[in-house]
C-alpha cells in the first residue's frame, strides 16, 4: 500500500517511521475556462461550480443525488465532475484527488467524502476516513466536517491532513499555513507542524508539536497454543487508523484497542500496523504457532506465593 505524505518533509519529526513513503504533490487542475460573453441584451447566468477528478488509483466510486434520490455507487474516472450532494468513496487500495481551481483535496484509502458546498474557490464536505487538503493562500477555502461530530476543520491558505473515524473522534495535523479546528463552541488554531485531537465527548485539545508514530502492543504470553483465537491489546495515538493482519480495527476514544485474532494451523506472524493523521506508519509483529496438540497453559498472576 502506498503512503503519501505531502509536504511533510519540512518537519524533522516526520522522518521517523516513514521508510518507503513516496512524496507526491496534489495533482493540479486547469482553471475553469471563462464562459462565452453573452449578448448585451441577455444577462449571462453564473456558471455552476463543479469539482473535477484530477487523479485516481485503485477502486474509487461516486454516488450521485438526483432530486431526493441517491444513485447506486458507480466507478469514477479522471475528468469526471462532482456536484453538491455527490459523495465519493475509496476502497482499501483507492485514492482520489479532486480540485476546484486552487483548492485541492486528496481522499485516501477506506474513506468517504460527501460534498456539501461548492464554488469556484470553496469546497465543503463531510469526511469519514482520511483526507489531505491544500489551498493556495488567498485563492480559496476548504471546510471539512467530521462525520459523527460538529467538528469542522478550516483553512483559507494551508496544507493539512485529517482523520475522522465517523463516530466523533478526529485528528488534524497542520503541515503549512493557517489551519483551525472548531467543535462544541471551541476553536483551536494550529501552527505548522502541530496536531490537535478531538474525542467524541470533548472539545479539541491544545495544539502541540507532532511526535513519532505511537503503537504499543501487548501480546499474549503463550507463543505456542492450541487455541484458535488470541487476544491482542494495545494503544495508538487518538484518531490513528489501525489494522491487524490487514483487517481494520477500531480503537476507542483514548486510542486503546483490543481484538481477537484467528490463528491458522502452524507457525505464523501477526502484524499490527498503525497509520497516523499524516499517513506515517508503524508496524509491530510477533510470531505464534497454533498446535492442536499443545498443552493448555495458564499463566499465574503471581509466580510466588
* Interval 189-221: pLDDT, tens: 999 999 999 999 899 999 999 999 999 999 998
Q: Kindly report whether the global pTM for this prediction surpasses the value 0.85.
A: no
Tell me the pLDDT tens digit for each residue of 43-78: 444 455 689 999 999 999 999 988 889 999 999 999
Query: Percent of the chain at pLDDT above 70?
Result: 81
Positive or negative, the Cα torsion across 46, 51, 55, 60?
negative
Residue ranges of the chain that CATH labels 2.60.40.10? 215-290
**Which residue intervals of the chain bear CATH 2.60.120.1440?**
8-32+46-209
Count Cβ atoms below 10 Å from residue 264 Cβ, excluding itself.
9
Query: Which CATH architecture does the domain made up of 215-290 adopt?
Result: Sandwich (2.60)
What is the dotted CATH code of the domain comprising 8-32+46-209?
Answer: 2.60.120.1440
Amino acid at each position: 500500500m502506498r503512503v503519501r505524505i505531502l509536504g511533510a518533509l519540512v518537519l524533522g519529526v516526520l522522518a521517523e517511521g516513514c521508510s518507503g513513503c513516496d512524496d507526491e504533490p496534489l495533482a493540479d487542475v486547469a482553471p475553469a475556462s471563462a464562459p462565452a460573453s453573452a449578448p448585451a441584451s441577455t444577462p449571462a447566468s453564473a456558471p455552476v461550480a463543479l469539482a473535477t477528478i484530477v487523479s485516481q488509483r485503485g477502486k474509487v466510486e461516486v454516488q450521485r443525488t438526483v432530486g431526493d434520490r441517491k444513485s447506486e455507487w458507480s466507478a469514477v474516472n479522471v475528468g469526471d465532475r462532482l456536484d453538491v450532494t455527490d459523495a465519493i468513496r475509496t476502497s482499501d487500495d483507492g485514492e482520489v484527488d479532486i480540485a476546484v481551481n486552487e483548492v485541492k483535496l486528496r481522499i485516501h484509502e477506506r474513506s468517504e467524502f460527501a460534498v456539501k458546498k461548492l464554488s469556484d474557490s470553496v469546497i465543503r464536505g463531510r469526511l469519514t476516513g482520511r483526507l489531505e487538503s491544500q489551498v493556495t493562500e488567498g485563492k480559496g477555502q476548504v471546510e471539512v466536517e467530521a462525520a459523527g461530530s460538529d467538528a469542522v476543520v478550516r483553512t483559507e491558505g494551508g496544507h493539512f491532513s485529517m482523520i475522522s473515524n465517523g463516530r466523533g473522534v478526529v485528528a488534524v495535523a497542520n503541515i503549512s499555513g493557517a489551519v483551525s479546528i472548531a467543535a462544541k463552541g471551541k476553536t483551536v488554531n494550529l501552527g505548522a507542524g502541530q496536531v490537535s485531537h478531538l474525542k467524541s465527548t470533548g472539545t479539541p485539545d491544545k495544539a502541540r508539536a507532532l511526535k513519532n508514530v505511537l503503537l504499543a502492543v501487548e501480546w499474549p504470553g503463550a507463543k505456542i497454543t492450541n487455541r484458535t483465537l488470541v487476544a491482542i491489546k494495545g494503544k495508538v495515538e487518538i484518531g490513528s487508523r489501525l489494522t491487524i493482519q490487514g483487517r481494520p480495527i477500531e480503537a476507542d476514544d483514548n486510542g486503546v484497542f483490543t481484538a481477537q485474532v484467528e490463528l491458522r494451523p502452524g507457525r505464523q506472524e501477526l502484524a499490527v500496523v498503525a497509520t497516523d493523521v499524516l499517513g506515517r506508519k508503524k508496524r509491530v509483529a510477533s510470531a505464534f504457532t497454533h498446535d492442536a496438540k499443545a498443552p493448555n497453559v495458564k499463566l499465574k498472576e503471581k509466580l510466588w506465593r
